[in-house]
């Protein structure tokens, strides 16, 4: 199943956002202060997308191993 490439809607949902108390946080891509409720930039990444890609690869590898042993 192909993974839809979509960006998070706000900075707080981005993989590159690091929270700093009640003042907001820091964008680790641009090393700048951001507010958690700001609209995310076009470079934002979902914090879960990488784990899904790895899971998809692991399932494919497991299927390949099973089919080769049969």
Is residue 25 scored above 90 in pLDDT? yes
pLDDT, position 18: 93
pTM for the complete prediction?
0.57
Q: Which residues contact 3 (CB under 8 A, 6 or more apart)?
A: 49, 52, 53, 56
In a domain, 6, yes or no: no
**Which domain, by its residues, includes 45?**
11-69
pLDDT number for residue 21: 85
Assess if residue 4 is contained within a domain: no
How many domains, in total, are found in the chain? Answer: 1
Residue 35 — pLDDT band, cuts 50, 70, 90?
A: very high
Instruction: Determine, yes or no, domain membership for 49.
Output: yes
- Quick check: is 42 in a domain? yes
Return the pLDDT at 33.
93
Mean pLDDT of the chain, nearest integer: 75
**Of the segments 20-24, 36-40, 51-55, which one has the largest average pLDDT value?**
36-40
Residue 35 maps to a domain: yes
Q: What angle do CA 23, 18, 25 make, to 5 degrees?
A: 20
Query: Is residue 1 in some structural domain?
Result: no
Residue 46 lies in a domain: yes
């Amino acid at each position: 199943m192909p993974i839809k490439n979509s960006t998070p809607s706000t900075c707080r949902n981005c993989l590159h956002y690091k929270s700093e108390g009640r003042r907001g946080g820091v964008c680790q891509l641009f090393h700048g202060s951001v507010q958690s409720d700001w609209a995310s930039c076009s470079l934002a990444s979902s914090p879960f997308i990488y784990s899904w890609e790895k899971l998809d690869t692991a399932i494919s590898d497991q299927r390949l191993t099973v089919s080769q042993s049969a």
